[in-house]
Structure 1
Amino acid sequence: MSSQIDSAPLLARAEELVSLARKAGADAADAVVVRSRSTSVSVRLGKVEQTDASEGDDFSLRVFIGKQVASVSANPGFDLKALAERAVAMARVSPEDPYAGLADAADIAKSYPDLDLFDPTVVSSDALREAALAMEAAALEVEGVSNSAGAGASAGMGGMVLVTSHGFSGSYMASRFSRSVGVIAGEGTRMERDHDFDSRLYFADLDKAEEIGRRAGERVIKRVNPRQVPTGKDLTVVFDPRVARGFVGHIAGAINGAAVARKTSFLRDRMGEQVLKAGLNITDDPLKVRGSASRPFDGEGVKGERMTMIEDGVLKHWFLSSSAARELGLHTNGRGARGGTAVSPTSTNLALEPGDVSPADLIRSVGTGFYVTELIGQGVDMITGEYSRGATGFWIENGELAFPVSGVTIASNLKDMFMRVTLANDIDRKFGVAAPTIAIEGMTLAGQ
């Protein structure tokens, strides 16, 4: 991965592209360059399986003629004038979109902060290979681990350049380093698999390869010889933080302005109402220094601020881009993310703020229940809130993890689940979605 991140040439090219679009007849335009660089190495059983290196600068141009809009993409080396003219010609024959347009000029960031997102450390392919091998070796040394599903390490960077016809010009880059390993325990049809990983913006912050490998090995041997448990109702289910992050993701999906506008969210009519258990808070902070999902401005040049999306259980905000906000008669809150040629609202550094009891005390208070470490399938209906997922984990007996469980399904409705949440205090904020251990009362478990 190169340590050079000079974006000036890309900014100049994007500015020229926007200018040419205006000259070709566009009323407004913006140009985005998504920059990416990455190197990765994967190994299995002590041998390198794959080494990949990639880099790219992908250009996108959006043009507006009144409420008509068109977008085109291209790789470096394209003819700027021809691309601009093609985009304008496409817009002239496009149907009108009443919500299309750049962000309002008053919302455009006049300045934006340095969030310390880029680590210039260069990690060689040899170093990535050694880390992957060390992870795998440490995992295989754990007694009871029978095989490897592979290990990998990667280093890369990504970011964007954005130029608009109404005065915004900016860029940022973020680095990313990651390590992961998967391992197997048991034999034949009784094999179990688990993994561990770490991902950071700064290389020095990564967990040591040997620690990741050891954790993966220790996780998988606990899953050997799982049992099934009887079907039951009104069960308390405890979600491990790795699983709880997905639960918070469901909350984020339900309060996404685009889903609300499309009427595909079960919370679409609940603004200002209690949707989570009283006392619970969901925050979102795009400006967190060294945050995994931080960005100094969004995909439209708007600077977002830290927001409490759900406060004391009450829904306060949707995630909004300019177009989603216009459709809802609201105002963008700087959550527009660029995905190819489209802009859609997304969360940034999202957190279900923690409670004040330890995970052990939370599990102890459950008495009898089910501790989930992995969910299987996509059985969540975001229109109705119906929730049904395959699950594996551990049975809770007398307030302790008693034995591994697999082959069961947990079910409820997210509207009910949101109101029955109890939180531990063990939040880990290193990922873009953060959640502590959570307990949810009143779920159904389908087992034997």
Structure 2
Amino acid sequence: MSEYHRLEALTQQLLTTARKAGAEQADAVALEAAAVSVDMRGGKLEHAERAEGVEIGLRVLLGGRQACVSASDRSDRTIEEMAARAVAMAREAPVDDTLGLAEPGQLARDTDSGALDLYDHGPEPTPEALQELALRAEAAALAVDGISMIEAASASHSHRRMWLAASNGFSAGYGRSGHSLSVVAITGEGLGMERDWAGESRVHAADMPPPEEIGRLAAQRTLARRGARKPPTGAFPILFDERVASGLIGHLVGAANGASVARGASWLRDALGEQVLPKGFDLREDPHRPRHGSSRLFDAEGLATTPRMIVADGVLQGWTLDLATGRKLGMASTANAMRGAGSPPSPGVTNLELAPGDKTPQELIREMGRGMVVTSMLGASINGTTGDYSRGAGGFWVENGEIAYAVNECTIAGNLRDMLLRLTAANDLTDWRAMRVPSLLVEGMTVAGA
């Protein structure tokens, strides 16, 4: 029996057992995954890990109530206990009339994910091959003058297969693979030590850049941080480098999530159909992008996914919805349900792209005159209801339109609603990201430094 047939059989067994235990509706998921990772340091193996297993999950619905259970044991006894426990839990859960599976007519008809090319069918890399990739990246970083040591050079490979089935007749699955490589480089020592990193991940090994390219980039980024100090305090323009700009757009996407909107806990809750980005800005979701790890033809409730505009010409077009949040808001699902084995569906996004501008980051730096380029962030204090924003940041200080020195240990603050309406986008849209966002210039943020 193939892996997919085995996973499908597990989901059907879960559904049959759940119905016998008293469930009115049910859906089940079976996941099989394996991963190998190695960490190299100083030319030697620092850490190696292999993990593999199968996880099964069951959701039952009964009289407007639901419960979810999961397990890593697949025995008949465990499945019977899961079903009995889930039904018992559901009977004690609060009633929510928006809960329920999709109607059969809503379900995706095209469930063959082969066209998305999400699985690398080439030979799996051996641990020795992963070590070699990490060693090559480490050596390339160390070869750059000024790098004192490599904190870690890491390589990994993973594959995952999933099957989803429900009592409404839906039954389908797909597989994903992943290859990744990263390097953390260090310059200086003691209090003068600075570090930075570079890393890439792909579905297919053939799409990965050479490890030497990743190592050199980590070294270059690290050396640029030498002599970092605190910036001035005041109101300045800030350029969010493409490495961190996606986080800024991620806050907008989170505020447009139907679950937050339905709770009244979103700073965009009254902004549907209003300007949330400057004119000319489009934010598009495309779950059908080939060879991208988060692509999918159907969501976690069996609905067919489709590309959609979240923001068009700066105007918010709609919320991100699964079935339950859509019903709460009186809208149709946008087929954005996601779930784990032990959790119910909730709305989420895949493969976002913000339309780029027509200027290079260097041109925006020249135009900003005096301000800050942010390349790293840590910590966060963000009020999801008001949009008040404060984060620790590091990067580079700009004087007279040129980078003057590296900066660290500062805080940047503003209000997301205002910040997003004052954006200027650069043209450096990067490939292969789940969220493709160019560098973004924000006028007039507060910087708290020296």
Question: Of the candidates 140, 151, 154, which is equivalent to residue 156 of structure 2?
Answer: 154
Aligned counterparts of 1:64 and 1:189: Cα–Cα separation in 2 = 57
Corresponding residue for 2:244?
243
What RMSD in Å do the two structures reach over aligned CA positions? 1.5
Correspondence 1:106 to 2:105: yes
**Equivalent pair of 2:273/2:317 in contact (CA under 8 Å):** yes
Q: Does 1:6 align with 2:3?
A: yes
Normalised by the size of structure 1, how large is the TM-score? Answer: 0.96
Q: How far apart are residue 261 of structure 1 and its match?
A: 1.1
Is contact 1:172–1:296 with CA below 8 Å preserved after alignment? no
Q: 1:19 aligns with which of 16, 21, 31?
A: 16
Match of 2:427 among 403, 418, 425: 425
1:198 aligned onto 2:200: yes
Rounded to whole Å, the distance in 2 between the matches of 1:396 and 1:332 is 45
Which runs of 5 or more structure 1 residues have no equivalent in the other structure? none
- The answer to which of 77-86 and 183-192 deviates more is 77-86
2:91 alignment counterpart: 92
Q: Secondary structure at the match of 1:425?
A: coil
Q: Deviations over 1:277-335 (max 9, x none)?
A: 11111111111111232112111111111011011111111111111111111111110
**How many residue pairs align between the two structures?**
444
Q: Which moved more, 1:92-101 or 1:183-192?
A: 92-101
Structure 2: tracts of 5 or more residues without a match: none
Aligned to 2:148, the other structure's residue is in SS state strand
8 Å CA contact retained: 2:238, 2:442 = yes
CA distance in 2, matches of 1:124, 1:220: 30
Q: In the aligned structure 2, how far is the partner of 1:158 from the partner of 1:432?
A: 18
- Taking the aligned partners of 2:431 and 2:210, their CA distance within structure 1 comes to 18
Cα drift, residue 87 of structure 1:
2.2
Name the counterpart of 2:310: 309
SS across alignment from 2:413: strand
Q: Give the partner amino acid of 1:81.
A: E
Distance 1:326 1:142, change over 3 A: same
Q: Can you list the C-alpha shifts for 1:329-364, whole angstroms capped at 9, x where unaligned?
A: 111111000133221101100122211222222222
Shift of 1:150: 0.8
Please give the residue correspondences for 1:229-240 in structure 2 after superposition, counting only pairs within 5 Å. 229-233=231-235, 235-240=236-241
- What SS does structure 2 have at the residue aligned with 1:43? strand
Contact 1:157 1:175 in 2 (8 A): yes
Match of 1:49 in 2: 46
SS in 1 for 2:3: coil
**Deviation at residue 398 of structure 1 after TM alignment:** 2.6
Contact 1:308 1:316 in 2 (8 A): yes
- Give the fraction of aligned pairs with identical amino acids, expressed as a percent: 45
Q: State the partner residue of 1:395.
A: 397
2-structure distance, mates of 1:387, 1:402 = 26
Match of 1:208 in 2: 210
1:328 match: 329
* Cα separation, partners in 2 of 1:221 and 1:5, compared to 1, 3 Å: farther
DSSP 3-state at the match of 2:280 = coil
Structure 1 residues 343 and 330: CA distance shift in structure 2, 3 A: same
Counterpart among 354, 378, 385 of residue 383 in structure 1: 385
Structure 1 residue 113: deviation in Å?
Answer: 4.5
Letter in 2 for 1:106: G
State how far apart, in whole Å, the 2-side matches of 1:272 and 1:306 are.
19
Aligned counterpart for 1:181 among listed residues 183, 187, 195: 183
After superposition, the Cα gap between the structure-2 partners of 1:400 and 1:292, relative to the gap in structure 1 and judged at 3 Å, is farther
Contact (CA 8 Å) 1:63, 1:87: kept in 2 or not?
yes
- Cα deviation for residue 230 of structure 1 reads 1.9
